[in-house]
Amino acid sequence: MMITVNLRPGQKRKAASGGFKDAGERAKGLFAKVKDPFLVGSVALCLAVAGFLGVSFVAANAKLNDLEPKLEAARDEYKRFDGLLRQKRRAEMIRDSLLAQISTIRVVDGNRYVWPHVLDEVAKALPPYTWLTVLAAQVAPRAVADTADTAVIRPITFRMEGRTMDLQAYTRFLRQLEASPWVSDVTPLEAKTIVEKDRPVTQFTIQAAFQRADSAYIRTVPLSQSVR
């Protein structure tokens, strides 16, 4: 086994320091060979752009990682609200369908109890010694739409022809018809004296309209009740 001893250690340090010096000189020589300043500027610009892009990529990637949980939370929130909106639209469709059905039922059922009210009110207003010979509708009921888009029934206009033994009974009949909450637009059309069975009587013609009374005048009763 041979042991080598460096009797001149300064030579090694000098050689080492000479290596760094040679590298610097080679770099200077390389830059000295490149005599075009635009090429040097282009290389420096490319290096700067590459560095900027690298920094931007790292920052954008970090921001994307921060936004991904928020994106997932927003998607879950959207799904929840979308389900609520669908339920709301379904409920509105059901409501509109029910309103349309109710409007149709009102149109069909609106004039079911018109004539019972008319006959009842006319019978209540008719004075003694006064009778009717004609009671007929002038205009057929027809459904119209009001401002709230709900079906209503146009009032029925009816005509009454009758006779009375007393002229004051005729005027009392007019006043009692006008006082009825179910009758409106009472208009006397004709009143004249005729002879019937050798007696003078007053023959009259009256026109009126049926109107739905206020709820305060409506009284409801059960259709059936138990009998003890």
Segment 64-80, tens digit of pLDDT:
788 888 888 888 888 88
10 Å Cβ neighbour count for 42? Answer: 11
CATH of the domain at 135: 3.30.70.2830
Which residue in 116, 102, 98, 95 sits closest to 152, CA to CA? 102
> Does the structure show a pLDDT above 60 at 124?
yes
> Does the structure show a pLDDT above 50 at 189?
yes
Q: Given pLDDT bands bounded at 50, 70 and 90, which one contains residue 17? A: very low
Domain range for 81 is: 15-109
| Residue 153 and residue 211 in contact, taking contact as beta carbons nearer than 8 Å | no
The CA-based diameter of the chain, rounded to the nearest angstrom, is 174
For 24-34, what is each residue's pLDDT tens digit?
Answer: 566 555 555 55
User: Same domain, yes or no, for 138 and 175?
Assistant: yes
User: Same domain, yes or no, for 208 and 135?
Assistant: yes
User: Same domain, yes or no, for 152 and 99?
Assistant: no
Mean pLDDT value across residues 36-62: 76
User: Same domain, yes or no, for 135 and 165?
Assistant: yes
User: Same domain, yes or no, for 97 and 118?
Assistant: no
Mean pLDDT value across residues 197-226: 77
* Final residue belonging to a domain, choices 109, 127, 155: 109
* Final residue belonging to a domain, choices 109, 125, 158: 109
Q: How far is CA 189 from the centre of its chain?
A: 49
User: Same domain, yes or no, for 208 and 118?
Assistant: yes
* Final residue belonging to a domain, choices 62, 91, 109: 109
Q: Given pLDDT bands bounded at 50, 70 and 90, which one contains residue 222? A: low
Run of H or E including 188: strand 183-196
Rg (CA), the chain: 53
User: Same domain, yes or no, for 76 and 124?
Assistant: no
> Does the structure show a pLDDT above 60 at 158?
yes
Domain tally for the chain?
2
Evaluate whether residue 5 is within a structural domain: no
Cα separation, 45 vs 51, whole angstroms: 10
Mean pLDDT of the chain: 76
Cα separation, 134 vs 112, whole angstroms: 21
| Residue 206 and residue 135 in contact, taking contact as beta carbons nearer than 8 Å | no
Compute, in degrees rounded to 10, the torsion defined by CA atoms 158, 164, 168, 172: -30
Mean pLDDT value across residues 36-58: 75
User: Same domain, yes or no, for 98 and 32?
Assistant: yes
pLDDT recorded at residue 135: 92
10 Å Cβ neighbour count for 126? Answer: 19
> Does the structure show a pLDDT above 90 at 188?
yes
